[in-house]
């Protein structure tokens, strides 16, 4: 995508896998509302968390793609029945009066300083375009996000029942460890994790009451090298570190739509990314916000030297 080899591509996002590669490659990633796009034919990782959405070089391209792939699919009973609105015609209508929530502590604490500065600068751009910046305060989500590995690993075991554990040794070391972790999850463990997810979703609903969308980073640091062991390194004995997923996994929990757009470059020339999180079925507004930001900046026009 970033190299311009195709108009657009699809990603599947269970904890950030549309937004992370989009952020790392300086492109746009749109994770729709859970169920807005059919998952039929997609190899599941965790069915209650999986989303399918477009990855493109601009928000307009993402809106065009989402318009084409969204809608109810009788092959996927979890796909939504709501009609798909026109996300393209009014994308350039501006964002005057849009209530954009921003929690400066949430968006900058524990975040790489260059990235934090770029995110704050992006919010200021949107304010200059007419958005109303509404201060909000997100709760500490860390205790709730600890449930994500339990849910994801257990559901992954169910998704791979045809080949795990019967062909366990054929898996790579990282994902084999992921499935082994899921195989150790009890029914009570899963129930407790699901209750934490429900509580987290309730807290997030309260934050969104006075706003239309939230601005925050897509991930807490610029892109880092992919090691031979995998993106996250070897599977740790003490459990999975959720720090890298703190801006993404909450919105897999509640199925809210999110849009990741480029917002700068680090001193090393690595892409930086800004994320907008909307309300359920709020993709048209997210596309308007992303498009307005792109019309006022040039970050989405940068291409890698290939």
Q: Cα 211 vs. chain centroid, distance in angstroms?
A: 19
Q: What percent of the chain has pLDDT over 70?
A: 96
Confidence tier at 228 by pLDDT (50, 70, 90): low
Phi-psi sector, 110: left (phi>0), alpha (psi -120 to 50), beta: left
Please tell me the distance from the alpha carbon of residue 283 to that of residue 175, in angstroms, as a whole number. Answer: 32
Phi and psi dihedrals of 164, rounded to 5?
-130, 125
What is the distance in angstroms between the CA of the first residue and the CA of the last residue of the chain?
Answer: 12
Tokens for 128?
């200059």
Q: How large is the average pLDDT for residues 180-190? A: 97
* pLDDT tens digit sequence for 32-56: 999 999 999 999 999 999 999 999 9
Residue 73, SS3? strand
* pLDDT tens digit sequence for 5-28: 999 999 999 999 999 999 999 999
Confidence tier at 84 by pLDDT (50, 70, 90): very high
With respect to residue 162, please indicate whether it lies within any of the assigned structural domains. Answer: yes
Tokens for 237?
């004995």
Q: Which domain holds residue 88?
A: 8-301
pLDDT at residue 224 above 90?
no
With respect to residue 146, please indicate whether it lies within any of the assigned structural domains. Answer: yes
With respect to residue 260, please indicate whether it lies within any of the assigned structural domains. Answer: yes
Q: What percent of the chain has pLDDT over 90?
A: 91
Q: Which residues contact 76 (CB under 8 A, 6 or more apart)?
A: 38, 39, 40
Helix boundaries (H) for the chain: 19-25, 59-69, 104-108, 113-128, 142-145, 147-159, 173-183, 187-208, 250-253, 283-296
Q: Which CATH number goes with the domain that contains 215?
A: 3.90.1300.10
User: Is 159 within 8 Å of 43 (Cβ atoms)?
Assistant: yes
With respect to residue 2, please indicate whether it lies within any of the assigned structural domains. Answer: no
User: Is 31 within 8 Å of 55 (Cβ atoms)?
Assistant: no
User: Is 54 within 8 Å of 88 (Cβ atoms)?
Assistant: no
With respect to residue 3, please indicate whether it lies within any of the assigned structural domains. Answer: no
With respect to residue 158, please indicate whether it lies within any of the assigned structural domains. Answer: yes
Residue 255: name the closest of 36, 21, 22, 18 by CA. Answer: 36
Q: For the chain, what is the domain count? A: 1
Question: What's the pTM value of the predicted model, to 2 decimals?
Answer: 0.95
In Å, what is the CA distance from 53 to each residue of 10, 40, 71, 91? Answer: 6, 13, 12, 18
With respect to residue 48, please indicate whether it lies within any of the assigned structural domains. Answer: yes
pLDDT of 173: 86
* 222 or 236, which is more confident: 222
DSSP symbol at 165: T
With respect to residue 1, please indicate whether it lies within any of the assigned structural domains. Answer: no
Confidence tier at 218 by pLDDT (50, 70, 90): very high
Q: By 3-state DSSP, what share of the chain in percent is helix, strand and coil, each rounded to 5?
A: 40, 15, 45
* pLDDT tens digit sequence for 71-83: 999 999 999 999 9
pLDDT at residue 192 above 80?
yes
User: Which H/E stretch holds residue 284?
Assistant: helix 283-296
Q: Which residues pair with 278 in a beta bridge?
A: 213
* 31 or 231, which is more confident: 31
């Amino acid at each position: 995508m970033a190299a311009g080899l195709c108009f657009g591509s699809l990603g599947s996002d269970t904890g950030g896998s549309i937004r992370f590669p989009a952020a790392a490659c300086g492109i746009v990633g749109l994770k729709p509302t859970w169920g807005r796009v059919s998952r039929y034919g997609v190899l599941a990782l965790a069915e209650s968390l999986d989303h399918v959405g477009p990855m493109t070089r601009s928000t307009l391209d993402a809106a065009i793609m989402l318009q084409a792939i969204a809608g109810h699919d009788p092959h996927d009973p979890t796909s939504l029945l709501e009609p798909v609105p026109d996300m393209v015609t009014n994308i350039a209508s501006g964002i005057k009066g849009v209530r954009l929530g921003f929690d400066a502590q949430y968006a900058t604490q524990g975040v790489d300083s260059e990235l934090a500065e770029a995110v704050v600068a992006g919010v200021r751009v949107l304010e200059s375009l007419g958005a109303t910046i509404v201060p909000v305060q997100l709760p500490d989500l860390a205790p709730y996000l600890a449930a994500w590995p339990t849910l994801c690993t257990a559901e992954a075991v169910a998704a791979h029942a045809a080949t795990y554990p019967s062909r366990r040794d054929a898996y790579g070391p990282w994902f084999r460890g992921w499935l082994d972790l899921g195989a150790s999850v009890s029914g009570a463990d899963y129930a407790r994790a699901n209750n934490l997810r429900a509580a987290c979703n309730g807290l997030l609903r309260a934050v969104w009451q006075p706003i239309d969308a939230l601005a925050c980073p897509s991930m807490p640091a610029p892109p880092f090298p992919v090691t031979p062991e995998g993106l996250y390194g070897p599977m740790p004995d003490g459990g999975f570190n959720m720090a890298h997923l703190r801006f993404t996994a909450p919105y897999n929990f509640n199925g809210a739509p999110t849009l990741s757009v480029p917002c700068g470059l680090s001193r090393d020339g690595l892409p930086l990314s800004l994320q907008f999180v909307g309300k359920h079925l709020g993709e048209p507004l997210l596309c308007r916000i992303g498009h307005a930001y792109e019309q006022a900046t040039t970050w989405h026009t940068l291409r890698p030297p290939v």
